[in-house]
């Protein structure tokens, strides 16, 4: 039986992980902990085998007034929790970072491989990267640290860009058929990957993703199909999008390329339980 502490009581990833692990009641026991005030510092961590740290500010803000808060929560709090976990005898610390540490990665045609150097383009990405650097020195043979850099996470009741695209897919009659590719990760695939990290007591840097790369237009059409909507994909706007996608952030988010090289995401056990179409059907229904 693994005793697991999940930080962040309102975390989408944390809550879905706890639900996923309920499939194995004899193997895992989970508890969630709020870090919103200082009371967490009084919590006894010594009874836990694993701390899964998913608490943090997840949305991207460009408001300079928010910058200090991002570093306080995403960097400083992560380091403080990891230090407490190590001091009190926790065996493994799993930190959910993000693909955003690589910024837009325009210079390498959107492909991230083992040689790609993180270059955050905003303080959200930099706060995650600084958190990684802050906890790395704590790693020992007795205190294993697994850092996870997932791409865009989506699933039922997820937040962020996916639900915006899903709403657009249900309302639009037309959408650009642009040949881009993105790495994405369904929440069930991430939850299974985290379960395997716990089972195998892994330590290191990991890059889980779905088996398939995503073409935005195909994903939008699949979402529309699930809802019985018809949407026309057109290449009419492609010349304009091609000019704008590496210059305008919002265009690049929707139609740019950003993928992990497939070799980065292989693991000794299969964690990719849902393919893209299944995951979208699961999410939308």
230 in a structural domain? no
Which CA distances in Å does 146 have to 198, 207, 227, 258?
A: 9, 11, 38, 23
The string of pLDDT tens digits covering residues 72-123 is 999 999 999 999 999 999 999 999 999 999 987 666 688 999 999 999 988 8
> Per-residue pLDDT averaged across 147-155, rounded?
97
Q: In this predicted structure, which of 138-142, 152-156, 157-161 has the lowest mean pLDDT?
A: 157-161
Expressed as residue numbers, the domain containing 20 is 2-159+185-211+260-274
Whether pLDDT at 46 is above 70? yes
In a domain? residue 172 = no
Please report whether residue 168 resides in a domain. Answer: no
Q: What pLDDT score does 60 carry?
A: 66
Does residue 238 lie in a domain region?
Answer: no
User: Is the residue at 112 inside a domain?
Assistant: yes
Confirm whether 217 is domain-assigned. no
pLDDT value for 66: 83
pLDDT of residue 106: 67
CATH number of the structural domain spanning residue 139: 3.40.50.720
pLDDT at 61 over 70: no
228 belongs to a structural domain: no
The pLDDT score that the predictor gives to residue 222 is: 96
User: What is this structure's pTM?
Assistant: 0.95
In a domain, 153, yes or no: yes
- Residues of the chain with pLDDT > 90, as a percent, come to 86
What's the number of domains the chain is made of?
Answer: 1
């Amino acid at each position: 039986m693994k005793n697991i502490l999940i930080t962040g009581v309102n975390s989408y990833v944390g809550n879905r992980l706890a639900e996923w692990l309920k499939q194995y009641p004899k193997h895992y026991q989970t508890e969630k902990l709020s870090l919103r005030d200082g009371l967490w510092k009084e919590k006894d961590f010594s009874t836990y085998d694993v701390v899964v740290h998913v608490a943090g500010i997840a949305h991207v803000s460009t408001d300079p007034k928010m910058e200090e808060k991002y570093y306080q929560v995403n960097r400083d709090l992560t380091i403080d929790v990891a230090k407490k976990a190590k001091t009190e005898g926790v065996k493994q610390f799993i930190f959910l970072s993000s693909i955003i540490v690589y910024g837009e990665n325009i210079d390498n045609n959107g492909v991230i491989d083992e040689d790609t150097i993180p270059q955050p383009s905003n303080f959200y990405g930099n706060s995650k990267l600084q958190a990684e650097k802050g906890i790395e020195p704590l790693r020992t043979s007795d205190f294993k640290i697994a850092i996870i850099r997932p791409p865009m996470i989506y699933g039922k009741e997820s937040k962020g860009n996916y639900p915006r695209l899903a709403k657009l897919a249900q309302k639009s009659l037309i959408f650009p058929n642009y040949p881009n590719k993105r790495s994405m990760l369904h929440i069930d695939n991430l939850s299974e990957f985290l379960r395997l990290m716990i089972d195998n007591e892994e330590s290191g840097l990991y890059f889980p993703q779905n088996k398939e790369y995503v073409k935005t237009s195909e994903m939008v059409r699949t979402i529309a199909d699930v809802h019985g909507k018809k949407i026309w994909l057109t290449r009419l706007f492609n010349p304009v999008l091609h000019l704008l996608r590496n210059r305008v952030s919002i265009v690049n988010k929707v139609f740019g390329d950003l993928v992990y090289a497939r070799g980065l995401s292989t693991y000794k056990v299969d964690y990719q339980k849902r393919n893209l179409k299944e995951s979208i059907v699961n999410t939308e229904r």
